[in-house]
Amino acid sequence: MLIRNATLPDGRTGVDLLAVDGRIAAVGPQLPAPAGVEVVDAAGWLLSPPFVDAHFHLDSALTYGQPRVNRSGTLLEGIALWGELKPLLTEEALVERALAYCDWAVGRGLLAIRSHVDVCDPRLLAVRALLHVRERVRPHLDLQLVAFPQDGALRSPAALAQLTQALDLGVDVVGGIPHFERTAGEGAESVRLLCELAADRGLRVDMHCDESDDPLSRHVETLAFHAQRLGLQQRVTASHVTAMHSMDNYYVSKLIALIAEAGVHVVANPLINITLQGRHDTYPKRRGMTRVPELMAAGVTVGFGHDCVLDPWYPLGSADMLEVAAMGLHVAQMTGTDAMRACFDAVTVHNARILGLEGYGLEPGCRADFVLLQARSPVEALRLRAARLLVVRGGRVVARTPAAAAQLQLPGRPAQVDFTLPPR
Ligand code: FE2
């Protein structure tokens, strides 16, 4: 496949890209078209590497309303509701929902997802279902699974054994939820145990960490300590870390340096953080998202995750990482030029680094995975939640979406508008 006349996220225009045997063979102006190659005119639209979601829950996705809806809309009712739903899950229904969500993802140009899977179920039903789904979708989507002890690795009696069993079955990453353990001490102990387990097995770590509004929650500090102690730099992710929003500024000035030094990545989940945090506040009401621009400024890789779609915690969502990034941009007040651009990176290159994806990017030698967006720049893509005109995996088109436009019926005005800024 030869893509003609694309704009790249770094601002280069009039670029051609040649894909051969599933890899990018060449990138540059006016490439010669080898015989028999499919030529696609990008018409100057933005060609980006695919979207990546660094934090998702595929086992609960699309269960909205089962067995009932979350009336209060709170995190705690969500956890209780998930507890009611778990015994009712069947492997077949779970597989069908997960496959349906992966279809949405491909349609949105989202070709890699790190999903947590709850291991606090003696049947490990969701683990088995998602391992099956991971293989089913492998040709078109990279699914990375995290063994997530939702009810606490130490608080839930069999959780640690079940988590280990999930890893034996082939789950990729070690999860945790230290702030949900009984005490701060047990939380810290769970971080130590889980990091050692990951180090022993050569696995990555991704913990739900300090997902609260408690200014004294300290588990990310412990996570950074063990990441460094065990040589797990660049392989550990602290997810949510919403407590950092509420922490004392002096303490945070020490903490951010510690996170950067330990090479720990951070994932914020803007849609979920802005809706679930600050629920005990009256007014003023805290936003609750972690300190994204400050972490980025310190050199920490910060990604954005979708976290939930139509599940006990969140009644909305549609696998659109541009919606996620746009919310992150607003909540973090990242409206500066470079800051907006960084929000696009947070759902593409940053998340790819967090997942450790091989061959991600638009350089020769990278996998021929990309998405053609109906926008002229990454910031315009964010503004418009731009249509994914073409989604390509391994040099093959896997999804198309018609260009978005309104047909006007106004005398003397254009027949059509597409909301992109006309080129100057
Ligand atoms: Fe989560």
Task: Give one DSSP letter per residue of 87-114, joined into a string.
Answer: GG--HHHHHHHHHHHHHHHHHTTEEEEE
pLDDT in tens, 302-358: 999 999 999 999 999 999 999 999 999 999 999 999 999 999 999 999 999 999 999
CA atoms of 23 and 365, how far apart (whole Å): 6
Q: How confident is the model at residue 298 (pLDDT cuts 50, 70, 90)?
A: very high
pTM over 0.95: yes
User: 351 CA distance to ligand 1 centroid (A)?
Assistant: 15
Percent helix, strand, coil in the chain, to 5, is 35, 20, 45
Cα four-point dihedral sign 110, 126, 159, 182: positive
Shared domain check, 17 and 162: no
> Model confidence at 262, in pLDDT bands (50, 70, 90)?
very high
Q: What is the mean pLDDT of residues 113-129?
A: 97
Is there a contact between 66 and 88 (Cβ–Cβ < 8 Å)? yes
Going by pLDDT thresholds of 50, 70 and 90, the confidence category of residue 75 is: confident
Catalytic residue among 211, 221, 323, 380: 211
**Are residues 72 and 20 part of one domain?**
no
Decide if 211 is catalytic. Answer: yes
Residues with Cβ within 8 Å of 282's Cβ and at least 6 positions away in sequence, in order, are none
Strand duo 173-174 + 204-209: pairing? parallel
pLDDT value, residue 421? 84
390 backbone dihedrals φ, ψ, rounded to 5° = -150, 130
Q: What is the pLDDT of residue 398?
A: 98
Distance CA(291)–CA(126), nearest Å, equals 32
Residue 86 has pLDDT above 70, yes or no: yes
Pair 39, 55 in one domain: no
301 CB-near residues (< 8 Å, 6+ apart): 265, 266, 350, 353, 354
CA–centroid distance, 399 to ligand 1, in Å, is: 28
Q: Please choose, from the candidates 260, 271, 262, 221, the residue with its C-alpha nearest in 3D space to the C-alpha of residue 241.
A: 221
| Rg, the chain, Cα only | 22
Bridge partners of 3, per DSSP, are 17, 40
pLDDT category at 191 given cuts 50, 70, 90 is very high
Provide φ and ψ at 6, rounded to 5°: -105, 160
Inside any domain, residue 158 = yes
Question: In whole numbers, what is the pLDDT of the chain averaged over residues?
Answer: 97
| Helix and strand counts by DSSP (H, E) for the chain | 13, 18
Say what the pLDDT of residue 79 is.
Answer: 86
pLDDT at 74 over 90: no
- In sequence order, what are the residues at sequence separation of 6 or more whose Cβ sits closer than 8 angstroms to the Cβ of residue 103? none
pLDDT for residue 76? 83
191, 230: one domain: yes
Are the CB atoms for 175 and 145 separated by under 8 Å? Answer: no
pLDDT at 387 over 90: yes
335: which DSSP letter? -
Name which residue leads in pLDDT, 362 or 80: 362
pLDDT for 424 equals 66
| 8 Å CB contact between 57 and 98 | no
End of a domain among 306, 339, 355?
A: 355
What distance lies between CA 413 and its chain's CA centroid?
41
- Rounded CA-CA distance 335/313 in Å is 28
The predicted-structure confidence for 41-58, as pLDDT tens digits, reads as follows: 999 999 999 999 999 999
What's the 241 CA to ligand 1 centre distance in angstroms?
Answer: 11
Question: Quick check: is 422 in a domain?
Answer: no
Task: Report d(CA 269, CA 290) in Å as an integer.
Answer: 9
* Same structural domain, 13 and 68: no
What is the C-alpha to C-alpha distance for residues 304 and 242, in angstroms, rounded to an integer? 13
Instruction: Look up the CATH number of the domain holding residue 401.
Output: 2.30.40.10
Domain span at 31: 2-49+361-417
Residue 144 CA to ligand 1 centre (angstroms) = 14
Q: What separation in Å is there between the alpha carbon of 208 and the centre of ligand 1?
A: 6
Total count of domains within the chain = 2
Residue 424 falls within a domain, yes or no? Answer: no
Residue 197 lies inside a defined structural domain of this protein: yes
Q: Is the pLDDT of residue 212 over 90?
A: yes
> What is the strand order of the sheet 39-41 is part of?
23-28, 15-20, 2-6, 39-41
Phi, psi of 240 (to 5 degrees): 75, -75
Maximum Cα interatomic distance, the chain, rounded to a whole number of Å: 72
Span 352-372, pLDDT tens digits: 999 999 999 999 999 999 999
CB 15 within 8 A of CB 75: no
Task: Tell me how far the alpha carbon of residue 420 lies from the centroid of ligand 1, in angstroms.
Answer: 34
Q: Which residue in this structure is represented by tokens 């018409």?
A: 43
Cβ-based neighbour number of residue 97 at 10 Å: 22
CA of 57 to the centre of ligand 1 (A): 6
Helix axes 159-169, 184-201, angle to 10 degrees: 20
Q: Are residues 28 and 59 in the same domain?
A: no
Is pLDDT at 186 greater than 90 in this prediction? yes
**pLDDT tens digits for 129-185?**
999 999 999 999 999 999 999 999 999 999 999 999 999 999 999 999 999 999 999
Is residue 423 assigned to a domain? no
Q: Which of 355, 370, 396 is the last residue of a domain?
A: 355
User: The domain spanning residue 285 has which CATH number?
Assistant: 3.20.20.140
The answer on pLDDT for 423 being more than 90 is: no
pLDDT over 90 (residue 422): no
DSSP character at residue 50: P
pLDDT at 17: 98
| Å from CA of 213 to ligand 1 middle | 15
Same domain, 33 and 145: no
Confidence category of residue 22, pLDDT binned at 50, 70, 90:
very high
